[in-house]
Amino acid sequence: MIKNLKTKAQPNFISPELATLTEKYFSDKEWIYEEKFDGIRCIVVSKNGNINLYSRNHNKLNLKFPSLIEPFKKQRIKNFIIDGEIVAFEGKVTSFSKLQQVKKEKISVYFYAFDLLYFDKYGLKDLELIERKKLLKQRFKFSTKFRYTPHISENGIAFYKKACKKGLEGIIAKKKDSKYLSKRTRNWLKFKCSNRQEFVIIGFTDPQKSRIGFGALLIGFYDKGKLRFAGKVGTGYDFEFLKSFSEKLKKIETNKKLILEKIPLKNIHFVRPKYVCEIAFSEWTKDLKLRHPRFIALRFDKPAKKVVKETR
């Protein structure tokens, strides 16, 4: 083991470190660069060989992804906490939309490990990132389902351009010597190939012509504790989703106006801010509305109250 490590009681969960979005791309030998996966962030906790998979807001994922439990049970060390991402593939590219179809179809899922937070009887959050990754790679038995996330050093811009050319979501830049902080930091940075983020669903419009369910979703984000309207999203839905999700929306419909600003739309219905969705879009307008938004999928790994505009 690495010298000067102190023993520490194993916690039941560690909140993940979150990356900050940036458009100032760079190459730096003091940083490493990893692929940004289009999946669900997951903290794996093994206590005496008892495995629990948790989302970033501490919801248990064992029943949703049971095939991922066994690879962790086979590890020689029985006490550890690993940070990583659960993914499914569309061709050679990870796809969050594909991951949403796991219950309906026989879709293979995988876990990509990229950080080690606790090992044996040692807390590792104060170790440098590069040392944590070294331990992760050396001390675990990886397999088809349980995979190590490789990284490169220095050539960040070239790696980013290559990722975008391959159709990936982007890359994550991480400071080599950084400690693990359970919050959003600038030690981890997101270089995104396209604009995507989570939004709160705040309402819907009536369907028109042959459309069923609803016409468009009204979406927003929290700004200083108050909801702001970000626009309407009318594309990206299939027939089944329009039908099933419209029933869920009707159950949480409310007469209460959720936002102060006026929405220039007719036949709208507000809903309680319960559901979060991921949206792809071309850009933000000056008045903070989305241009060319497209629905990707619902997200259940982030509470609505924590959805804010990602800042650069």
Residue pLDDT, tens place only, 120-166? 999 999 999 999 999 999 999 999 999 999 999 989 999 999 999 99
Task: Say whether pTM exceeds 0.95.
Answer: no
Is the residue at 281 inside a domain? yes
Whether residues 146 and 240 share a domain: the answer is no
For residue 8, is it within any domain? Answer: no
Determine, yes or no, domain membership for 13: no
Average the pLDDT over 160-182 and give the result.
95
Pairing of strands 122-123, 110-119: antiparallel
Domain assignment of residue 221, yes or no: yes
In this model, does residue 110 exceed pLDDT 80? yes
pLDDT band, residue 2 (cuts 50/70/90): low
pLDDT tens per residue across span 267-290: 899 999 999 999 999 889 999 999
Task: Label the pairing between strands 18-21 and 184-192.
Answer: parallel
Q: Report the distance separating Cα 241 and Cα 207, nearest Å.
A: 13
pLDDT band at 97 (very low <50, low <70, confident <90, very high): confident
For residues 44 and 185, state if they share a domain.
Answer: yes
**Does 292 lie in the same domain as 237?**
yes
Residue 67 and residue 144 share a domain:
yes
Same domain for 109 and 30: yes
What percent of the chain is predicted at pLDDT more than 90? 82
Task: Report the candidate in 212, 216, 195, 213 with the shortest Cα–Cα distance to residue 204.
Answer: 216
228 and 166 in a common domain: no
**In a shared domain, residues 154 and 55:** yes
pLDDT band at 260 (very low <50, low <70, confident <90, very high): confident
Instruction: Please report how many Cα atoms fall inside a 13 Å half-sphere around the Cα of residue 209, on the Cβ side.
Output: 0
CATH number at residue 147: 3.30.470.30
Can you tell me the distance from the alpha carbon of 152 to that of 140, in angstroms, rounded to the nearest whole number? Answer: 20
Judgement on whether residues 168 and 252 belong to the same structural domain of the protein: no
Residues 168 and 134 in one domain: yes
Residue 32 lies in a domain: yes
Residues 126 and 38 in one domain: yes
The residue segments making up the domain with residue 282 are 195-306
pLDDT of residue 312: 55
CATH code (residue 229): 2.40.50.140
169 with 204, same domain: the answer is: no
Could you report the per-residue pLDDT of 208-231, keeping only the tens digit for each? 888 899 999 999 999 999 999 999
Last residue of a domain, which of 175, 192, 209? 192
